[in-house]
Amino acid sequence: MRYIYDLDLNELKEYLMSAGEPKYRAGQVFSHLHKGYDVSEIPNVPKSVRENLEAEFITGLPKIVESQTSKIDGTRKLLLELHDGAFIECVLLQAEYGDTVCVSTQVGCKMGCKFCASGREGFIRNLSSGEILAQVIIANKLKVRSEKDESLRIVMMGSGEPLDNFDNVRKFFELVGAKDGLFIGSRNISLSTVGLPDRIRDFADLGGGVNLCISLHASNDKIRQSIMPTAKKYPIADIVSAARYFFDKTGRRVIFEYSLIEGVNSLPEHALELSKLMRGFPCHVNLISLNPTGVELSPPSREIAMRFMDTLIKSGVSCTFRKSKGQDIDGACGMLKLRKKGGT
């Protein structure tokens, strides 16, 4: 059985029309589902139609089984149970300019980055397009809208590697951008990847305007290989060349993410090496300090982090240092974990 949130408007139309319903019915159902109504609650749709939908499809948003709010910055982490009993986490972040939801794209992760908790318990399955969308629907329902009613931003930076689930992620972009649905524009979406060059090119070919972030975290292959298994297969030069392809194709600046790790990638020589790599390339470097995830790696002091940033800026590299949010609830980058039934 298909998950009802996996269907785009045309697919829903096809089903409803084949069941003898008028053309406009699909729009009614689609827009209410995406606003967060349960099938049983959709107004102005006959009960028989709602019952048929419930019989024909898996319905219902994932259940919120746990919700934690950061005492420091208000970041909220949700533990969601999917229809097959799998768990995922998603995070709601607040800023003056509006809210951001950080969504997961897989249950667990195969990439195995040493510093990240998301793949430590392995990989279970891909999320479907509708399961990624459902996290946004839930966040949209919970979000406290400001007077200006800014649109919700989406970062695909939760558990999982989005480009390892390419087809579902591509359909997710269509669903979340649908005019009759949430209508969230691609400029409000950022996708973060561990750096899979061929998939980055495929992503660029979509030409959709979604922002691309690449988790670099090292200024040379040796360091990268020591913390990210995928670096053995994909050298930095290939990733940078794919990033250039993305820029040439879309005209959009790539963001390189760099989590500073004490004694590993945060020395002055690394800053110089990184600036050589980035110089002249239309990109931005987003620095953060490593979030603790229970491994023998720690963040550097603030002084070291600031010195690293200064070196990049003096070399003409566009760069910002971002403070982590949601650390106290294990909701910051790399802290989302695979949770199993009966586990912790």
Instruction: Reply yes or no on whether 319 is catalytic.
Output: no
Instruction: Please report how close the Cβ of residue 182 comes to ligand SAH at its closest, in angstroms.
Output: 22
Specify the residue, 54 or 262, whose C-beta has the smaller distance to ligand SAH: 262
Which is nearer to ligand SAH, 31 or 126 (by Cβ)? 126
89 is catalytic: yes
Given the residues 90, 102, 213, 333, select the one marked as catalytic: 333
Residue 192 or 311: the one with the smaller Cβ distance to ligand SAH is 192
Of 58 and 267, the one with the shorter C-beta distance to ligand SAH is 267
CB nearer to ligand SAH: pick between 99 and 257: 257
Shortest distance, position 238 Cβ to ligand SAH, whole Å:
16
Task: Kindly report the three-state secondary structure assignment for every residue of the chain.
Answer: CCEHHHCCHHHHHHHHHHCCCCCHHHHHHHHHHHHCCCHHHCCCCCHHHHHHHHHHCECCCCEEEEEEECCCCCCEEEEEECCCCCEEEEEEEEECCEEEEECCCEEECCCCCCCCCCCCCCEEEECCHHHHHHHHHHHHHHCCCCCCCCCCEEEECCCCCHHHHHHHHHHHHHHHHCCCCCCCCHHHEEEEECCCHHHHHHHHHHCCCCEEEEECCCCCHHHHHHHCHHHHCCCHHHHHHHHHHHHHHHCCCEEEEEEECCCCCCCHHHHHHHHHHHCCCCEEEEEEECCCCCCCCCCCCHHHHHHHHHHHHHCCCCEEECCCCCHHHCCCCCCCCCCCCCCC
CB of 59 to ligand SAH, least distance (A): 29
CB nearest ligand SAH: which residue?
334
Active-site position among 89, 131, 161, 257: 89
Residues engaged in binding ligand SAH (CB under 6 A): 111, 113, 115-116, 157, 161, 192-194, 215, 217, 257, 259, 288, 290-291, 293, 333-334
Catalytic residue list: 89, 333
